[in-house]
Chain A
Amino acid sequence: MLKYVLKRLLAAAVTLFIILALAFAVVRLMPGSVYDDPNLDQAIIDMLIERAHLDKPIHIQFYYFLKGVVMDKDWGTSVKVEPGVPAFQVLANRIPVSLQINLISLLISVPIGIVAGIVAALQKNRGADTLISVGVIIFISVPSFVFASLMQYFLAYKLKLFPILYQPSAVGALRLKSMVLPIAALSLSPIATITRYLRGELIEVLGSEYMLLAKTKGLGRFKATVKHAFRNASLPMMNVIVPMFANIVGGSMVIERLFSIPGVGGTMIKSINANDHSLTVATLMFYAMISIGTALLVDLSYGLVDPRVRVGGKKDE
């Protein structure tokens, strides 16, 4: 097991390093630079370029960059989005905002999805199931930003139930209220994904022999489902839920923009458009870490639950 964990950790570290190198190269090779500003004095530009080692070949630049990251956690300094602030600090201010929204959304989706999935499986092909299935197909298909726009217009603008945009400076109830719409927009698709998965799993095991045994024992249909079928289905479900978190974080880029949430997504978009290279690299790395971290978590839990995985390759999808 230890060997397996080490192997996976090493693989993840290598991938992260490759992404870092690629991100660095890509961003540096991008056309345009913040220093193209015609209002800047040439002497100042030269000084800035020299300080950022931009006059050296790219692999030397990468060496300086790596050294900074490893030695002083220095990811470079933002030059345009928040001039003068270290990129690490910019992100440190924004990550909590993003994570807050994303984690709440995940925490809400899991129980709702589970309940809906169980109800749908128990009521298979009856009214409630049909209703849930229609909801699932709609929530999975329609993009989150469409829902976000709809809710912004009808719930926030027309009915004035919620603020249209996120209120970062508000405190207490108003701030919570301003978080409702983005969280709802982010949660719909995960809820539908969990529901669909759980319903499928449960329907498959409901006809199995141990369910018949549970029934024979005198367990009611609901109890048998929750105690036996759900338990069996819930372990593989972790492999749906954990990667979903990476999806939520990725998807929240757009939602953050729509609701003006001062999170990582907005920072990335701004930094790309402003040629703020250090910040772009840092945000790219944040997203890479989230999705590689979740993938690692899935791999390790697979290995823990299913010993066959440790020996052979990855389970086929």
Chain B
Amino acid sequence: MNKKLNSRLAPEDFVLVQLDEDLFDDSFVGQPVSYFGDALIRLSRNKSAIIAFGIIVFIIIMALFGPAMNQFGYNQQMVDRVNLPPRIPIFAKFGVFDGTRILYNRQVANLTDPSRYPEGSILETVRTFTSRDIAMADIKADMYKMHDVPDDINFWFGTDYLGRDLWTRTWRGARVSLMIAVIAVFVNIVIGTIYGAIAGYYGGKADMVMMRFTEIVGAFPQSILATMLILVLGTGIRAIIIALVVRGWIGTARLIRAQFLRFKGREYVLAARTLGVDDRKLIFRHILPNSIGPIITRAMIAVPGAIFSEAFLAFIGLGIQAPEPSMGVLLSDAQKVLTSYPYQTLFPAILISILMISFNLFGNGLRDAFDPTMRGVD
């Protein structure tokens, strides 16, 4: 077909557009876009990742400053204000979080006793009935009035079984959990990167020995290893971080090793070596930057995993020591009184859920941004 078409065109059919001068752009019109700039552009188009990032920043700010936003300390016990339901002034108008609670099976005769039920504490009688010839009632009561709490003191998230303010404890718990997760992930990434870089760069025997070692460590189940370590080290923030690090660095090490195997034979590495660049500089200045994207993505996705592990350990009784709160400790304490005081579970549960969803969404966004070929895979 091409031939036919060609045969129909004679040289005369072609007209030169111009022949007077050489054609050049007078300047570069496009802007050079760096690797990170490119990723940032892609990331900024990902709405869910941006929202998730905003939420993470908000939670971090609240974790830093939230505990100091009222006058109560995280370990300040108030015996006369135990298990108060939450009261949030704005919501109270709509009948939620208004500091009330339904009290079941109260004797009607006692309801008028002001020493038990102070003036104005009973809002309404939900149900009356008789049991063993005694008049009983279920009442809706203002718990703040009952415990003689002044009107201008509001426990936004309520108080726990020791009368500690849960607003303060929740945000402090978020701070502790985030701190544990971030430190553990950071240490994991640093160890894994250096280990993987050395194994991948030098290859050969060193690689074989080093990778065999990761296989051995990797064969230990994470939960067993963490349990045993905490049994030895005792419960505490440091012990939990160590328990999360011991096996956590392996994934990064494998990833970085694979990256090094891929890049170390490239021409630019050879060129740099010919110019006399030493090993350390080759590893960290020339080859490693190729892996920055995957490393950041991996770190972001590892954070919710670490938060989960901390909560998991708290649930099996190996959490950090009282009175320091963490998301896991709060949830595990609240679980014991779930049916009586569900609000104690509600706020930490919402917080940990939102935090983990946000980290996952942001991590996915980062991965798509750094590696567009992976887009839409999940």
Binding site for B on A (CB under 8 A): 11-12, 15, 19, 22-23, 26-27, 29-31, 124-125, 133, 136-138, 140-143, 145-146, 149-150, 152-153, 157, 164, 196-197, 199-200, 203-204, 246, 250-251, 253-254, 257-258, 265, 268-269, 272-273, 284, 287-288, 290-292, 295, 313-314, 316-317
The CA of A26 and the CA of B312, in the complex, are separated in Å by 21
The CA of A157 and the CA of B227, in the complex, are separated in Å by 32
Q: When the two chains form their complex, are residues B219 and A250 in contact, meaning their CB atoms are under 8 A apart?
A: no
Q: What are the 10 A-B residue pairs with the smallest beta carbon separation, nearest first?
A: A291-B221, A141-B356, A200-B377, A141-B357, A15-B219, A254-B315, A142-B353, A250-B223, A26-B228, A196-B378
Chain B residues whose CB sits within 8 angstroms of the CB of A295 once the complex forms: 219
Q: How many A-B residue pairs have CB under 8 A?
A: 126
Contacting A at CB under 8 A, from B205-222, are 211, 215-216, 219-222
Q: When the two chains form their complex, are residues A288 and B224 in contact, meaning their CB atoms are under 8 A apart?
A: yes
Chain B residues whose CB sits within 8 angstroms of the CB of A265 once the complex forms: 316
Contact of A316 with B315 at beta-carbon distance under 8 Å, contacts A153-B342, A292-B221 already known: no
Q: When the two chains form their complex, are residues B311 and A268 in contact, meaning their CB atoms are under 8 A apart?
A: no
The CA of A141 and the CA of B318, in the complex, are separated in Å by 22
Known: A23-B224, A30-B232, A146-B352. 17 other contacts (CB 8 A): A19-B224, A26-B228, A137-B357, A141-B356, A141-B359, A153-B339, A153-B345, A197-B378, A203-B377, A250-B221, A257-B315, A258-B315, A269-B317, A288-B224, A292-B219, A295-B219, A317-B254
Among B216, B222, B316, find the residue whose CB has the most chain A CB atoms closer than 10 A. B316
Chain A residues whose CB sits within 8 angstroms of the CB of B228 once the complex forms: 22-23, 26, 284
* B189–chain A nearest beta-carbon distance, Å: 16
The CA of A295 and the CA of B258, in the complex, are separated in Å by 22
Q: When the two chains form their complex, are residues A200 and B378 in contact, meaning their CB atoms are under 8 A apart?
A: yes
The CA of A19 and the CA of B334, in the complex, are separated in Å by 34
Among B215, B219, B312, find the residue whose CB has the most chain A CB atoms closer than 10 A. B219
Q: Is B335 part of the contact surface with A, judged by Cβ < 8 Å?
A: yes
* A82–chain B nearest beta-carbon distance, Å: 18
Question: Which residue of B is nearest A15, CB measured?
Answer: B219
Q: When the two chains form their complex, are residues B221 and A143 in contact, meaning their CB atoms are under 8 A apart?
A: no
Q: When the two chains form their complex, are residues A137 and B360 in contact, meaning their CB atoms are under 8 A apart?
A: yes
Question: Which residue of A is nearest B308, CB measured?
Answer: A143
The CA of A15 and the CA of B318, in the complex, are separated in Å by 24
Question: Which residue of B is nearest A313, CB measured?
Answer: B211
Q: When the two chains form their complex, are residues A284 and B254 in contact, meaning their CB atoms are under 8 A apart?
A: no
The CA of A12 and the CA of B254, in the complex, are separated in Å by 21
Chain B residues whose CB sits within 8 angstroms of the CB of A153 once the complex forms: 338-339, 342, 345
Question: Which residue of B is nearest A314, CB measured?
Answer: B215
Q: When the two chains form their complex, are residues B357 and A142 in contact, meaning their CB atoms are under 8 A apart?
A: yes
Q: When the two chains form their complex, are residues B331 and A145 in contact, meaning their CB atoms are under 8 A apart?
A: yes
Chain B residues whose CB sits within 8 angstroms of the CB of A143 once the complex forms: 308, 311-312, 352-353, 356
* A246–chain B nearest beta-carbon distance, Å: 7
Q: Is B150 part of the contact surface with A, judged by Cβ < 8 Å?
A: no
Q: When the two chains form their complex, are residues B219 and A11 in contact, meaning their CB atoms are under 8 A apart?
A: yes
Q: When the two chains form their complex, are residues B360 and A140 in contact, meaning their CB atoms are under 8 A apart?
A: yes
Question: SS class of chain B's interface: helix, strand, loop or mixed?
Answer: helix
Q: Is B376 part of the contact surface with A, judged by Cβ < 8 Å?
A: yes
* B352–chain A nearest beta-carbon distance, Å: 7
Q: When the two chains form their complex, are residues B224 and A273 in contact, meaning their CB atoms are under 8 A apart?
A: no
Q: When the two chains form their complex, are residues B316 and A257 in contact, meaning their CB atoms are under 8 A apart?
A: yes
Q: When the two chains form their complex, are residues B219 and A149 in contact, meaning their CB atoms are under 8 A apart?
A: no
Chain A residues whose CB sits within 8 angstroms of the CB of B331 once the complex forms: 145-146, 149
Q: When the two chains form their complex, are residues B349 and A149 in contact, meaning their CB atoms are under 8 A apart?
A: yes
Chain A residues whose CB sits within 8 angstroms of the CB of B223 once the complex forms: 250, 253, 287
* B251–chain A nearest beta-carbon distance, Å: 7
Against A, the Cβ 8 Å flags (1 = close, 0 = not) of B227-271 are 110011010000000000000000100110010000000000000
29 contacts between A and B (CB under 8 A): A12-B219, A19-B224, A23-B224, A137-B357, A137-B361, A138-B357, A142-B356, A143-B311, A143-B356, A146-B331, A146-B349, A146-B353, A153-B342, A157-B338, A196-B378, A246-B221, A251-B312, A253-B223, A253-B312, A253-B315, A269-B317, A272-B227, A272-B231, A284-B228, A287-B221, A287-B223, A288-B224, A291-B221, A316-B254
Contact of A164 with B339 at beta-carbon distance under 8 Å, contacts A287-B221, A292-B221 already known: yes
Q: When the two chains form their complex, are residues B317 and A15 in contact, meaning their CB atoms are under 8 A apart?
A: no
Against A, the Cβ 8 Å flags (1 = close, 0 = not) of B267-309 are 0000000000000000000000000000000000000100010
The CA of A149 and the CA of B211, in the complex, are separated in Å by 41
The CA of A124 and the CA of B215, in the complex, are separated in Å by 38
Chain B residues whose CB sits within 8 angstroms of the CB of A268 once the complex forms: 227, 316
* A48–chain B nearest beta-carbon distance, Å: 22
The CA of A130 and the CA of B91, in the complex, are separated in Å by 32
Q: When the two chains form their complex, are residues B335 and A273 in contact, meaning their CB atoms are under 8 A apart?
A: no
The CA of A145 and the CA of B352, in the complex, are separated in Å by 11
* B171–chain A nearest beta-carbon distance, Å: 18
Question: Which residue of B is nearest A124, CB measured?
Answer: B376
Chain B residues whose CB sits within 8 angstroms of the CB of A27 once the complex forms: 231
Among B232, B359, B378, find the residue whose CB has the most chain A CB atoms closer than 10 A. B378
Contacting A at CB under 8 A, from B92-130, are none
Chain A residues whose CB sits within 8 angstroms of the CB of B360 once the complex forms: 137, 140-141
The CA of A15 and the CA of B212, in the complex, are separated in Å by 13
Q: When the two chains form their complex, are residues A272 and B317 in contact, meaning their CB atoms are under 8 A apart?
A: yes
* A189–chain B nearest beta-carbon distance, Å: 10
* B113–chain A nearest beta-carbon distance, Å: 31
Q: When the two chains form their complex, are residues A29 and B232 in contact, meaning their CB atoms are under 8 A apart?
A: yes
The CA of A316 and the CA of B316, in the complex, are separated in Å by 33
Chain A residues whose CB sits within 8 angstroms of the CB of B315 once the complex forms: 145, 253-254, 257-258
Chain B residues whose CB sits within 8 angstroms of the CB of A253 once the complex forms: 223, 312, 315-316
Chain B residues whose CB sits within 8 angstroms of the CB of A137 once the complex forms: 357, 360-361, 364
Question: Which residue of A is nearest B228, CB measured?
Answer: A26
Q: When the two chains form their complex, are residues A157 and B339 in contact, meaning their CB atoms are under 8 A apart?
A: yes
The CA of A316 and the CA of B335, in the complex, are separated in Å by 41
The CA of A144 and the CA of B357, in the complex, are separated in Å by 13
Question: Which residue of B is nearest A197, CB measured?
Answer: B378
Question: Which residue of B is nearest A189, CB measured?
Answer: B308
* A25–chain B nearest beta-carbon distance, Å: 9
Contact of A287 with B317 at beta-carbon distance under 8 Å, contacts A27-B231, A146-B353, A164-B339 already known: no
The CA of A196 and the CA of B301, in the complex, are separated in Å by 15
Chain B residues whose CB sits within 8 angstroms of the CB of A157 once the complex forms: 338-339
